[in-house]
Amino acid sequence: MGGRIKESKNERLYYCPNKERSWVNAPPKYDEKWDRKKGCQMKRSLNIPRTDALVWSNIMTVLQDSDYLKQKAYLAIGGDKDIKEEQAKEMKLQKKLKTKLQSIEETLAQITTNRLLQDVDEKTYLKTQENLHTAKADV
């Protein structure tokens, strides 16, 4: 699609410049020069100001009617279902990890209490404490 604006002739048109450009690449033979069956079959042109106004008004209508755009974006993302499922999985995992961390901390407190009461020997206490700290770091 090409455009031509000639103020002297009051000409403002969009048109197909295929016929003009085909002469540059391979000039036709003399007997084919005026044959209308060659090149683009679009013989009409569009008024530039009217076409631009029409396109601009349609763009503005679509942008103002943002429900259409929101719906397209919503469908492109995949809707709300996937997001809610992901959030539920994350919350479940977070709750599980909090419970596990709390259990490890309670066990650490219990083993320390047992050591202070001398219910557990030093070697067992140190090994158990080391294992619990490793498990806590993993969580």
Beta-carbon contacts of 2 under 8 Å, excluding residues fewer than 6 positions away, are 14, 15, 16, 17, 20
Residue 15, number of CB atoms within 10 A of its CB: 17
Same-domain pairing of 50 and 116: no
Boundary of a domain, candidates 28, 62, 77: 77
Boundary of a domain, candidates 59, 77, 95: 77
Same-domain pairing of 122 and 72: no
Same-domain pairing of 72 and 85: no
Same-domain pairing of 13 and 65: yes
In a structure prediction context, what are the per-residue pLDDT tens digits for the chain, which is 139 residues long? Answer: 788 888 898 888 888 887 677 666 677 677 776 666 666 777 788 888 999 999 999 988 888 877 877 888 777 777 666 777 888 899 999 999 999 999 999 999 999 998 888 888 888 888 988 988 898 888 8
* Total domains in the fold of the chain: 2
Same-domain pairing of 55 and 88: no
- Given a contact cutoff of 8 angstroms between Cβ atoms, the answer to whether 46 and 14 are in contact is yes
Same-domain pairing of 12 and 49: yes
3-class DSSP state of 69: helix
Domain interval for residue 64: 2-77
